[in-house]
Chains A and B, each alone.
Chain A
């Protein structure tokens, strides 16, 4: 599959390397020695049954949790490297350029759609406004920066087809539009890696088709700096995953059980076992099976 994708640049170093990531909560092991890579200009899907540890892994990558063991390396196209596990949460978004959306939508629902996208460009604008001092005095530098911020917001509003709703209160948007707005907001931070936690949840087939379009656009378009954005995606909707992802990582009970292109993963027996349950004879250790047989005979 990857052979027919001309945009994948296999020779480059990966954008994100997850190495031996383990996350424990007390006695519970949510992620157990997970390693994988995600590349710029690719959609890497993270799938697995409920409770497989997908969201925990996401929270480690985006700095909401600090992993117990393991290394998370993010390589910028310019060659800068960031060790994400050593950075406080907001720094990962601010410096390393990792943006995310949430499983249960987290918009600034009392603020307008446009304001949501402007807040996403906070750090850039804060510098331009001289940490509010130049802005309070009304200096022109800030007005120019704000104009540029609005232009970027307009660009993404247009991409997610929310331009006409720009002045609506974000909380009043329909559900599907809120999902799209959250993606636009994440993109307004100009990330190198976009992490999406179940973006198709609760969408109807038409909406998830539109979502797939937006995601492939994000993957394929080059940023003004000339690099491509990597997309890390948690998703349960297999039709979306199989259609758009270039690389699929499967987790089960916190472990990685399969890794490869969608075609490979679809036919991997370990994945089928995890999703559909195990064949009885295959699954049970021989002594247990023997016991069961005895018991059945006895009855």
Chain B
């Protein structure tokens, strides 16, 4: 391959290598040596980790060698590293083509073993992605900072355009169920998306505005859901009575959690909210007599049409049937459409609240708390009350969403309120760009919508989801549409000073 002296004759390899397109020449020897070294490390690691496998034999536990996999992974690492080295030295385009060919061959042509196919497709795919990134960024001759600035400008434009996009999106959402497109599946996905949008907007109050990292938001969702389910189960209260009650109870639980916790800051605060989320779930699992434990609560009553009419074919006593009331043909879709409009209205309430409160002293104090907690105290702002208000209001909206969830599902169990739900809602807020209302919508479409749309891909969708999150965090650590417009302008944004604000 190469000799040490040969490598030493190119002491500036790394310096040159880090700049794509600096020199046209490719230092083959050093690149191959580098790839060989990586392959050697891979050999050391894969022999014990991949190469040996314990198998259950009738005579006892045995060890089986898997040389194929070891060789495959070493080859993968060698060519992967080689590809990376070449990309760095300005050979991105040839590598891209080669990698794509490899992946294509692996996909299309019949292979003697599955392992070989995996090596070709996976290795080719990853290298092709990396090469494509370099080609794309190299073409535009943009540095990371320039790209950030460009994305910031896009975010600002989207934010400004949201004045027009917003109403259009709302009108679109409102007429969607009336279009012939609307089938059961589309409406169900719509309801799911709107539920997460509502939760995202609710959590945005705490995380985006007040700057408190809440990892246990799902607890309030659970409190809302169980409030409705239990009130309906034990007292037979209807959905429309329970909805405000569930919000109130969730807000109370928010205050209850907030009092001891708000003196903590940063990471400690996040950990305690995480704990709170788990406490609620564990109570729900273990308080068998009251909550039904892991079996959950079934037979939760469906919502009526504002207490006037029922959506079933044969309504309960004292209720009219919805289809008879409006002289329609009976259709099970009526209830779904009604639920869709219900969650749309609830989500819009949360959005309107946030848009308005940002322009009020309460909302401005939240944002100020996010920016600098100590300065707030020096200005006479009661930090505890402000944070409690943020917590209680966000919890209330979570409670509304929870009771909606309960009435839609008709069945709830602690399974629905695990930490992963909190994490997904938080991911929506953070990916969208903290504090950005339209960002939440975009992120929900990405985080919830895409995996729903590609349900056939089964487990791979979670892999793609993870990869997507990593890419977004690398490229836009502050979130996709992180841009903040002032809530009040002195010059109406007309002076050059305002538009050119040091951008």
Contact = CB atoms under 8 A, between A and B. Distances in A.
Interface of A: 62-64, 89-95, 99-100, 102, 106-112, 114-115, 118-123, 125-126, 129, 131-132, 135-136, 142, 146, 150, 154, 157, 163-169, 172, 185-186, 189
Given A94-B380, A189-B379, A167 B368 contact: no
Nearest to A131: B362
B490 A114 contact: yes
A129 B491 CA distance: 24
A109 B486 CA distance: 12
A152 B96 CA distance: 61
Main secondary structure of the interface of B (DSSP, over half): helix
Interface in B246-275: none
B65 interface: no
B502 A122 contact: no
B360 A119 contact: no
Nearest to A191: B380
Interface in B335-356: 353, 356
A107 B490 contact: no
Main secondary structure of the interface of A (DSSP, over half): helix
Contacts of A163: 490
B462 interface: no
B357 A132 contact: yes
B378 A99 contact: yes
Interface residues of B, number: 38
B41 interface: no
A110 B484 contact: yes
A122 B365 contact: yes
Nearest to A138: B356
Contacts of A63: 377
B324 interface: no
Contacts of A129: 360-362
A189 to B, nearest CB: 6
A91 B378 CA distance: 9
A119 B486 contact: no
Contact of B375 (A107, A135, A154): A107
A178 to B, nearest CB: 12
Contact of A114 (B489, B501, B502): B489
Contact of B501 (A93, A118, A169): A169
A168 B502 contact: yes
Given A135-B362, A164-B491, A168-B497, 6 more contacts: A93-B379, A108-B375, A122-B365, A122-B380, A135-B356, A135-B361
Nearest to A94: B380
Contacts of A109: 371-372
A102 B375 contact: yes
B487 interface: yes
5 contacts: A93-B379, A108-B371, A109-B371, A122-B380, A167-B501
Contact of B382 (A62, A90, A132, A146): A90
B413 to A, nearest CB: 36
A93 B368 contact: no
B251 to A, nearest CB: 14
B363, B377, B493 — most chain A CB neighbours (10 Å): B377
A136 B371 contact: no
A20 to B, nearest CB: 25
